[in-house]
């Protein structure tokens, strides 16, 4: 006789949490496509398959949705800090974080959503307040980890730990955006380079062993083509003046 498996019924709170997640995912998809201000609540409702009344039951509007997204990011940041604290060394921790950021935002969708969130944080006092809170917690947590590493003699003790934490965070933010525009290149090249530069920045003697990084010839890049066009244009302009 076959054993019948019965599912444990979800509580009202669990059902509500599930619906909130569905709305957040749908809103994120819309924000990626058309941006925060171009997305309407009607579009979000259509994406979720829920009526306006059901969506407004969980969120009062788009600003509340993006605020919830920031809070979710805050929880993930805390988890990252805990993971870094358990790493065998600060170098290993920073290397792992670099890889996590690179892999998470490599597809581009999350990168565009991140820029939308931060842009809205600059416009909205409500969203900005939440972003400043998560930023403060992240920088404080990273600063403490760097100070511990300095006390253990793992990194340069003369560095300002708080400014270094802010600088590293800016590097990671930049990496997320830059790799979106260089998606056609080796996906490991930029994270590898960042790891090397972070190690050099924090090294006590500013010397890091390892193989030198190789960079593709500039002639193969779009930047080189643009420089060539500008040079040719400049040559023509000079000739016209002769």
Rounded to whole angstroms, what are the CA distances from 142 to 2, 10, 136, 190, 221? 54, 38, 10, 22, 36
Is residue 59 within 8 A of residue 68, CB to CB? The reply is: yes
Q: Give the count of domains, the chain.
A: 2
Please tell me whether residues 45 and 95 are part of one structural domain. no
Do 23 and 134 lie in one domain? The reply is: no
Residue 238 has pLDDT above 70, yes or no: no
Report if residue 68 sits inside a domain.
yes
Q: CA dihedral defined by 151, 156, 161, 166, rounded to 10 degrees? A: -140
Domain identity same for 33 and 71:
no
Q: What is the pLDDT of residues 93-124, one digit of tens each?
A: 999 888 888 888 876 567 788 888 888 889 88
| Euclidean distance between the first and the last CA atom of the chain, given in angstroms as a whole number | 98
Going through the chain in order, the beta strands assigned E by DSSP cover none
Q: Are residues 36 and 142 in the same domain?
A: no
Residue 39's domain comprises 16-59
DSSP letter, residue 218 = G
In a domain, 202, yes or no: yes
Predicted TM-score of the model (pTM): 0.71
Q: Is there a single domain that holds both residue 42 and residue 92?
A: no
**Residue at 141 is within a domain:** yes
Task: Tell me: pLDDT of 195 over 70.
Answer: yes
Please check whether residue 217 lies inside any domain of the structure: no
Q: Does residue 83 sit in the same domain as residue 201?
A: yes
* Residues 46 and 124 occupy one common structural domain: no
Cβ atoms of 205 and 185 closer than 8 Å: no
Q: Is 239 inside any structural domain?
A: no
With a cut of 80, say whether residue 1 has pLDDT above it: no
Among 37, 59, 81, give the residue marking a domain's end. 59
User: Helix or strand or coil: residue 158?
Assistant: coil
């Amino acid at each position: 006789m076959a054993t019948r498996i019965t599912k444990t019924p979800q509580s009202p709170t669990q059902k509500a949490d599930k619906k909130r997640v569905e709305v957040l995912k749908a809103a994120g998809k819309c924000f990626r496509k058309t941006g925060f201000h171009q997305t309407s609540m009607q579009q979000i409702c259509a994406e979720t398959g829920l009526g306006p009344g059901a969506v407004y039951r969980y969120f009062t509007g788009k600003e509340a949705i993006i605020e919830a997204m920031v809070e979710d990011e805050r929880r993930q940041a805390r988890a990252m800090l805990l993971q870094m604290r358990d790493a065998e060394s600060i170098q290993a921790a920073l290397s792992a974080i670099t890889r996590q950021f690179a892999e998470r935002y490599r597809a581009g969708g999350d990168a565009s959503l991140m820029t939308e969130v931060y842009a809205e944080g600059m416009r909205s006092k409500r969203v900005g307040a939440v972003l400043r809170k998560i930023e403060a917690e992240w920088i404080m947590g990273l600063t403490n980890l760097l100070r511990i590493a300095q006390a253990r003699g793992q990194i340069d003790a003369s560095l300002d730990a708080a400014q270094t934490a802010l600088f590293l965070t800016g590097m990671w933010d930049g990496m997320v955006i830059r790799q979106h525009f260089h998606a056609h290149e080796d996906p490991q090249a930029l994270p590898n380079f960042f790891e090397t530069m972070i190690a050099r920045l924090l090294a006590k003697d500013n010397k890091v062993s390892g193989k030198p990084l190789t960079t593709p010839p500039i002639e193969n890049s779009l930047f080189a083509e643009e420089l060539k066009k500008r040079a040719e244009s400049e040559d023509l302009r000079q000739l016209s003046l002769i």
